[in-house]
Structure 1
Amino acid sequence: MKILQQSGDPTAMYTGPEFTIQFANNAILAIWGKDESVIGHRFENALPEMKGQPFADLLKQVWESKEIYEANEMPATLDIHGEPITSYFNFTFKPILNKEGDIYCILHTAKDVTELIRTRDAVLEKERKEEEIKKELRASNEGLRSNNQELYTLNKEYTVTNEKLGASNKIIQDLNLQIKKENNELLSGNRKFQDDITNLGDLNKNLASRNQELKDLNDTITQLNNKLSESDISFTNLIDQAPVAIMLLKGDDFVITMINDAMLALIEKDYSVIGKSLFEVLPELKGQPAAEMLIKTYRMGTPNSDHSNPVILNRDGQFEERYFTFNYTPFIEDGKVTGVIDMAVEVTTQVMAIQERESIIIEKSVLEETLRKSEQRLQGILETMAEGVGVIDATGQLVYANPMAQQILGLSESKIKERTYDDPKWQNLRLDGTLLPSEEHPMSIMMSTQKPVYDHEVGVKAPERDIMYISINAAPLFDDEGNLTGGIGTFMDVTTRRMITQGKEDFISIASHELKTPVTALKASLQLLQRSHDRLPPESRAKLLDQSIKSLDKLSGLINSLLDTSRIEQGQLKLDKRPFTISELFDDCCSNFSQITDQEIIFEGDIYEQVMADNQQIGQVMINFISNAIKYAPESKQVIITAKKISDHEIKISVRDQGPGIPKEKLEHLFKRYYRTNYHGQKFTGLGLGLFISGDIIKEHGGRIGVESEEGKGSEFWFTLPI
């Protein structure tokens, strides 16, 4: 009884037809919520809450039939600390017979499987959710195949005229093929995985049942080991009747003292092994974990068990790896450990099934991850493309727009999907500014001809927005029968390109006019001098020479501006930096302005601060600022030039007038190349390059440049230089 009392497995023993509790270990008392006072009482009196539950009738059935009763996952409601609690148990009522075949007692072994059932229910719920996810995944795969077919058609139609788009389409085509293959593999893997899960569920149930049998019998043997001294039940009969493999090993050499048929079948030996050392019979066990656990149990006197432990056995001269669930219990005689009871169940089939399931799960996870990454790559390509991508159906309705398309059009995807490509809410224009008929739209041309259209530029005028220009490539989409289902268009904002082209055209016109004026004046003066030199008085000849020199100066200035612009574009603007004070800059470049204007030019501020810069080029910037103030604000009585140290490392120089100011919408364009404006209805000469060149000079010096202006309150142009 000491072994049964020491066992951690719940065990009780009932005697007589009234089922008196003859023995109950601590483990089963804890389940009942009782103490040792119930020992010696009838089952129904000790556990009154069992009334109405089937357990008393089952005990009576076992006593009368002398047949073992086993049940799995049976609910039992027990009074625990005054509170009825329902738990689930695997239990066995086993009749113990004496030599005459009469029933001596009923051995009750049990195991609380409440947590196992809850865990299993959770697993079933998880599997149910996984099945729902699989259904959704299959639906997503079908949609993805359709999208892949459309994108594949698009890829075939793309032209090399757009190298970047062509490369992107090649990537999409490869991904489509890969995703289709992976989808097929994933669907096949899912079907196999479902079959394997069903088979594995059956194997797991068998394994759980075998493990439970092993534990129950281990409890039985442990309990009866001490009972032998108080009863005449044969320990040998108990081992022989056990349905699982059991043997008793005694002494330091682990001599096989008792062994049943199940154990002999497991190790493929016969009864001749009795009396021999275990390690003599199975020498291959030496050093294996199962053997180390056996030795530890004997030496420490504590039970040990292990589930699914690998063991290498010699089967017909071949070493094979098998898996077993072991339970080692110390065998105690006169209070001393003299041996070990070894119980084992082979679970090789179940372990191999579990390993196969885990392999399938890993393979499925890899496939799912590959599919997810493929989808991410495809989505990433569309979302990071520098071109807008839009897809229309057969009616012209937009059904997809990537982020760049949304950015170019200034609409969210939901708003875009409410439109057609020729929506009348926006005006589509030809490049000459006239309205673009719907049939001339590149998407209409593509749909009507069912052929691709490349690099077709149109203007788009949205309400309360400036005209923008876009370049469109369009390709038709067909179904498997060759029917037109819609089209896909890629487009980019070419407004800047169009404005630069227009600016160049305007500049050529302006430059021709500006260069023609001084050349014409110079030519006229020289012709007059040539024809009438001897007849003209000296003062007239001097005046004509002065006019010629001014025309040459103006012509030289225009040519220098063009040369500076060319150097800037080619990155050849060179600086000759040296130290000088702000006052020196004013003296060198601004002293002559008093001779050409009546406006008062005032210098103020930190004019004695020293900078390291190219004096000539900074002087060019100053002259441009002051010239503009005189030209565009002739009514301003003063032009104020201020130098202000704004930090230990930077000084700000500004030119402020009291003129009419500049409209807010024009400020952002002032430093652009070729920009000229009719200033309050007036037109001025020049190429529109002065502020553009000034901006680049200041940036080359590591400074900043800008303008602040308010209509009616004048303007202030400024730049900064490092001190």
Structure 2
Amino acid sequence: MIIKANPPRFTILAVSDQFLKITGMQRKDLLQKELLTVFPNSFEDDTDRIKLVAALEQVVATRQRVDLPNVSYENFNEQSGEAEVQHWSNYYEPLVDVNGAVTHIINTAINITEALASTAEAKMAMQRLIASEASIRRMVKEAPVGMCILKSRLLYVEEINDYFVQLIGKPPHELLSKPYWEVNPELEEKYKPIIDSVFETGETYRASGEAVPLIRNGKEEVVYIDFVFHLMADYDGIKNAIIIIANDVTDQIVGRKNLENAFEQVRLSKQAAQLGTFDVDMTKQEMIWDERTRSLFGIDHSGPVSYEHDFIQGVHKEDRERVLKVIANLSNPEISDGTYDVEYRTVSKHDGSIRWVRALGKLYFDDSGKPLRFIGSVLDITSQKMDEERKNDFIGMVSHELKTPLTSMLAYQQILRKKLMNSTDEFTRVALDKSNQQIRKMTSMINGFLNISHLESGKIKLKKENFDMRLLLEELIEDFHMITNTHEIVLHTCASAMLHADREKISSVVSNLISNAIKYSPHGKLIEVTCSSAEDHIQVSIRDEGMGIKEEDRKHLFERFYRISTSHRENISGFGIGLYLSKEIVERHDGKIWLESESGIGSTFTFSLPANV
């Protein structure tokens, strides 16, 4: 009988004909049933029941064969046709998988009732043992693993099942009644000495997850197999046969190796990039940091780390509120998908040194939406930040130096324009107008670079005041009407919308969006500006009939220095800083900015700000 090693159920998977005969039971009443459910009241007393359960559990725990030389229970007497107490000798043989866990148990049972009465009856018990092992032929066919019986020292293939045929990769007619090494010559060199040893010693040979070279379906390949070579009595009652029990575990082994390789690649990548990692159990509020993360926070103790004392206190006080807000928003599905990406400074507990880090991670939830686990990595970006700071300082310095001569040029132009007021020299007047436009364009670009420099160095401060967004929009549109005659800019009905914000910076956001709408819609003439107010926020939209923006460009559009590279945009000036600055200004007001666009039809840029009046 083959039993599945799934305590406490111990499901019956296969039984021999001899077992059915001596128990008087039907195969359908046994297969896929729990062992103690099939024989609930058969034991003479609880002692034998306890012994059986203990033996099965011992096989699972120790992965060793366990013998029960004498177990008595009530059973069917095939001669009298009545139930009677019988004595049985049982042994239980384990089958293990690639991980060393017992998956199945082979139970061989010998009725020793008569053997206990007399020597003559003991011979009959031996005959029943022989018959029992011979009946394994039927059990082989039903087994859920590959099984093969090899007869005599010549190892003629006596019996195989479909699982074994599939494993070997050769049809049954090429295997049956032929010497095993003849049909599998690639196995002889390694495994013939092992089977010879099993014959000589009687000891079962077991292998777990062994790489076996096989020629399957005409192709040579390596298959990982759990297998057993077990000596058994043949049909003449002589222990002169080998039963092979085998299970293909290639998928498990290859999967494990791939996983190990992946872990090793991650480990090497992490080591090369000097990445730190963190793992937070949200249910237990336990936090684990690796050595690199501890180093980035200047923690020199090896004990457990604390969210309050090690993380929060380790974040620079000027960044703390912003970082905690990002973390708090992770668990709000309306504004976050759980993705964590933030840059901040750490202050070393050890020596007070300051580092810039970038933290990336993901918050995972259970089925009910409750935060379950928060994992991620931390990267030291101090050098990168220092390079950016030096670059911003340089940009700021150069931009500042350029503004002075440009301001002087603009002043000289204004003087020239006054002198030409009554002049009939049309060419000079047009030339002055065009040069004035170029100077203003250059001034606008320099101001953009200065704003980036100030923004990223933390020098931009918001000067908030109360103002009416509708009036601001009307002023800006009127200004644009004076400098452009190529587009019609329409402000749709907009009620009074009071806002508490930096008027100058919000003005620059609107100006930038309208300027872009003009630049990128050379053929569309209408630009629509809409404004709406709710109880707690004000929303402004600028819609054009321009080129539109492809989906792959939209996600990068608000990045610094990003410009869309297409042939019809080559002649449009700009450095890709306007939308970046607009986004930063809006977000510093705790607002949001987004884009809706369709290539070839047009775009709508919208930003929303909290009223806070």
TM-score under structure 1 length normalisation: 0.31
Which is higher, the Rg of structure 1 or of structure 2?
Answer: 1
Query: Which TM-score applies when normalising by structure 2?
Result: 0.36
